[in-house]
Amino acid sequence: MTKNNETLYEFFINNKIDWRFPNEYGLGENNLDCRQLSIMEVLRWRGNKNIIPVFLNSYDCFHKGILIRRSQPLLQCGWSINPVKQFPQQEIDKTIRTLIDQEGYCLLSFNAIQMKLSNYYKVHDVTHWCLVLGYDENYIYIADTSGIQKFFSNSIGKIPWAAFLDAWDRLDSWGISVIDYSNDECDNNSSNHVSKLLYDSVQSMKYEGGLKELSSFISTLENSDLRDLVSVLEQLEFDIHYFRRLRNLWKTAFEKHAVPEAYVVPGLVEENMNVTKYWSLVMGVLMKWKRQPYQDYREKLFGYLREAYLAEVKYFDEMEKTIGGI
């Protein structure tokens, strides 16, 4: 519990937390993934104020066919994930209760395609994370971006233990974790920390093939059959939204002055805004196409993707200027 003995569940209820909308730091589903959202709330509950730098990462890009990817983001500023030692799957309830009693929370991870309490069930083959807020004799309380409507309202779920354990027993891969803290290098050397993130981004995107991978991804889509594209609209929307989140997060960091002023320069900020704008337009077309799969939105989609690519080139050119070159 926190100093005022507010449980994490009470913190969620009292602050009316809804990840669909940005909080006081400008953070929400638009710029953080499921794992980051869960960790963010633990940090806020504990009273941490330096939130955004914990999640800032360098850029990269790679693709496999029509699947666009970036590396899994790391935690910064001295924070890390500490997995609980392996234990029998049937003891998950005991382990959760112990961690809640000791830590006040725990993080669960699992293959979403196997989790029948998730809207990703049988849809997205990805590792998904959620946050356990508490428990009582009959229910487990979970915060999750993709919980099914039967048990979840917005991001908060009240799930009978029997339903949770039945779903958990069906998983092939899973984990349970807490977070650890060593030292806050972001506070101690924030300028050096951000400089390295920008340097690594330029190195990866301009000189190690990231932009070429992005261009190749777009070309792959352009050369795909219409029926093939329509059949993967759900996956495209999911992947591109995940890909663009880091761009949105840096935009928030610039707006909230969560990076040193030396890097909040007009050229870099402007190009970041252009990048986020074009990826937003791409997402808009994909969402519209999903609602109207009988239409052909290829020309509009490909046009926005090419604009997004050109914006990315300018963005990383400006980033290189900002750090004084590689």
Distances (CA, A) of 134 to 5, 6, 38, 324: 14, 12, 14, 49
Q: What is the domain class of 190-323 according to CATH?
A: mainly alpha
Q: How confident is the model at residue 2, as a pLDDT?
A: 54
- Token code pair at residue 293: 């799969």
Amino acid occupying residue 13: I
Angstrom distance (rounded) from CA 260 to CA 26: 17
Q: How confident is the model at residue 185, as a pLDDT?
A: 61
Is the CB of residue 245 less than 8 Å from the CB of residue 30? yes
Minimum mean pLDDT range among 160-164, 170-174, 195-199: 170-174
Minimum mean pLDDT range among 27-41, 72-86, 212-226, 296-310: 72-86
**Is 186 a residue whose pLDDT tops 80?**
no
Angstrom distance (rounded) from CA 175 to CA 170: 14
Radius of gyration of the chain (CA): 21
Angstrom distance (rounded) from CA 100 to CA 195: 38
Share of the chain above pLDDT 70, in %: 97
Amino acid occupying residue 44: R
Minimum mean pLDDT range among 41-45, 191-195, 209-213: 191-195
Is the CB of residue 93 less than 8 Å from the CB of residue 165? yes
Q: How confident is the model at residue 3, as a pLDDT?
A: 46
Q: What is the pLDDT of residues 211-265, one digit of tens each?
A: 999 999 999 999 999 999 999 999 999 999 999 999 999 999 999 999 999 999 9
**Is 1 a residue whose pLDDT tops 90?**
no
**Is 43 a residue whose pLDDT tops 90?**
yes
Distances (CA, A) of 217 to 6, 70, 109, 222, 290: 47, 13, 29, 9, 20
CA angle at 219 for the pair 217 and 225, rounded to the nearest 5°: 105
